[in-house]
Structure 1
Amino acid sequence: MVYAYANIIVANADSLASYREKAGDALAKHGGRVAQATPQQTILEGARDETGLGAILVFETVEGAKAWINDPALSDVHALRRGAGQSTITLMA
């Protein structure tokens, strides 16, 4: 298993709602799923300018995670996430 951390600073709630409708199937296509998501985060150490919606994603393989983010068939789904606000996804592998 490999993990990815996604953080979205939401600016467009409608785009985020549309993304959420499609995100599970898009992740599953490449062996991924959401392990945990929360609208509120608590920084334990250090500082960031802003936190947003945080999610831990789980993938079966690094290749699956990279396939998910680079899948041209999912470009409309990724566009919804990007349209929701500032998104950062970090692969932890």
Structure 2
Amino acid sequence: MPKGYVIARAKVTNATQWAAYAAKAGEAMKIYGGTPIVRGGQMTVAEGEGRARNVVIEFKDFDAAKAYANSPEYAEARKLREGAGEIDIVVVEGM
């Protein structure tokens, strides 16, 4: 069965508030069996528009990734992030 991934690219404007979000999102990630593959770090834009903060979380399958992204636990984290930056998040099925 293909794995599932949550992929996010973000621009942080309030680091303190974002840190609270990240901690709460990390708790939710563990509940749903997620493993961070990419979390920040060095990056360069090869094409198009990039954002400084990039995250890839691997899950056992697409349904688990969707469950995390739509979970009440992650919704609590999302509330902490309001006004702390911009983010795009997608859930994708792997190979």
Q: TM-score, normalised by structure 1?
A: 0.81
CA contact (8 A) 1:37 1:56 kept: yes
Letter of the 1:6 counterpart? A
Unmatched tracts of structure 2, length 5 or more? none
Give the alignment's Cα RMSD to 1 decimal. Answer: 1.8
Indicate which of 13, 16, 19 corresponds to 2:15: 13
Deviation digits for residues 44-77 of structure 1, max 9, x if unmatched?
A: 2x211x4121111111111111111111243221
Q: TM-score, normalised by structure 2?
A: 0.79
State the alpha-carbon separation in 2 of the partners of residues 39 and 84 from structure 1. 19
How many pairs align? 91
Runs of 4+ in structure 1 off by over 3 angstroms are none
Percent identity of equivalent pairs: 30
Bigger share in helix: 1
The structural deviation recorded for 1:2 is 2.0
SS of the equivalent of 1:7 reads strand
Unmatched tracts of structure 1, length 5 or more? none
